[in-house]
Structure 1
Amino acid sequence: MIHPKLLKKQRAILIALLVFIVSTVLIGISLGYSSVSIDRLIPTIMGNGSFKDEFILFSIRLPRIVITVLAGMALALSGSILQTMTKNDLADPGIIGINSGAGVAITVFFLFFPIDAGSFAFMLPLVAFAGAILTAGLIYFFSSTRGSGLQPVKMILVGVGFSTAFSGLMIIMISSAERAKVDFIANWLAGNIWGADWPFVWAILPWLVVLIPFTLYKARTLNLLALSDSATIGVGVALKRERIILLFTAVALAASAVSVTGGIAFIGLMAPHLAKSLVGPRHQLYLPVALLLGGWLLLAADTVGRNVLEPDGLPAGIMAALIGAPYFVYLLLKK
């Protein structure tokens, strides 16, 4: 049973995070090259704004904000699952190569099928998932040893190797591509939020509507998986089956996110750690906090990056890396 004080603390933190998200949304809408001032926001939402304000709000700003928050949530939950499964605090879908595997699949599909990105928006998460699950399977295979199973530290090293190799492969594919497709791959590698339109929102939304509640439902199982393997089996958990199910879930969450945001790392690393430091390690408590933290972190990174340099700004992936890379080194030294 969870102590009522912890539940009360969790609720207060969730409310605070919602306030942070709403505040960042308002700041993001009111700043930048194309913006809507705060005093014009309510009239525009109610249908009394100018054509320019309505176009900026509903066609430029809101789709990007929704995509960013949803992708951050997905990456945070994916990182939480991977850290628990591997018992490795350094696990993150970007660091261990899952995101790069999804990126290679999307790049190959984009380069060798004569269609533009918007016309296959609903295919993107599926294509990304195929590449990501293949990569995850290879990482799992090369990181496991007979008898002792998955080796967490080895998994990080193998994952970093795959991530580097796949990033190099995408760069090689650039050499024979036309300019528009080169720009797409470059944006993906930098973690630029390129799928900032409503079709991309509808493309990833069905995945997250299923996967986010499913992950929260699996909180008790994740608590047990955090124990030793013998203890987990001793309480009746089908260890191998649950690991496979949760691995598929983590990969699908990460793939759906990066299919429209590009290669963004470290959100799945930071959000679970920050959530645990706020409410403790029980998954029932920290998963909802990590969910909102991930959404806010990526939204904040995109908002700051977009306004640092005019008019194009810095990609959200670079801003997230500027914060996340030192944090990763800190955790590495600590462990």
Structure 2
Amino acid sequence: GGWSITGGTVTNPGIWSYEGVAGAHIGFSGLCFLAAIWHWVYWDLEIFCDERTGKPSLDLPKIFGIHLFLSGVACFGFGAFHVTGLYGPGIWVSDPYGLTGKVQPVNPAWGVEGFDPFVPGGIASHHIAAGTLGILAGLFHLSVRPPQRLYKGLRMGNIETVLSSSIAAVFFAAFVVAGTMWYGSATTPVELFGPTRYQWDQGYFQQEIYRRVSAGLAENQSLSEAWSKIPEKLAFYDYIGNNPAKGGLFRAGSMDNGDGIAVGWLGHPIFRDKEGRELFVRRMPTFFETFPVVLVDGDGIVRADVPF
């Protein structure tokens, strides 16, 4: 059988399933590798030769303009068509607790809210704006020659200078991607990439679980009924094995048949001492590798423990 990332009824999504998107990116990166190898081998093509002298010659400012224009078109197209759903599926959008996520079109957010990393509309508006700027800048570099002093001063004819400076110019994007993955954003939904370590540290999902249980008890539900209404996804997010800072901990056995990986929720145990106080398990801090079982009451007083 198949599986659904939302836990709902499985339907055939076609090629653009969760794995299909990942596979397409892997395949495209492989094609980029092959293109790089091809250009490495066939570096002395006629197109790279000066017609007047017959010697190899690269017009690097023009090459820069071509690549900037093409990357601008791709950037604009992604924001204006793919993300907005104008010609494409949209992107994954979910609620703050990662329970209702699905692929849907997104309208660009042109106000200050577009700078909020958790607002999906900012993804569309950013790519439209950045793509437009890239297209205009690319056309400018294709049609305008740099002054000779600037050309020589910035060593624009030197391939090493051009390549190294271009790496530096876009290197910030790697920091943005790493930062959004670590701290969380609209580009890294919980359903697709899992919780962040800060959601574990702050008991983010635990607080929502207890809020729902308390609301259920206020409606005269039994403790068992209130807990049974907690979505499995919400309970699963509040599992220390899903904390990305835990690395390879909480994994045991062979990965190929799922041993050591949580596949279901058996329920929530409730501990009480002989006075009838409900006890809660102290959360393991992120950067501890081992931690005793410490049971505290509602006032934070330690009532029992199971040492190492």
Short-chain TM bin: under 0.3
Indicate the structure with greater strand content: 2
Indicate the structure with greater helix content: 1
Q: Comparing both chains, which one has the higher relative contact order based on Cα–Cα distances under 8 Å and sequence gaps of 6 or more?
A: 1
TM-score where L is the length of structure 1 = 0.26
TM-score where L is the length of structure 2 = 0.27
If you compute each CA radius of gyration, which structure gives the higher value, 1 or 2?
A: 2
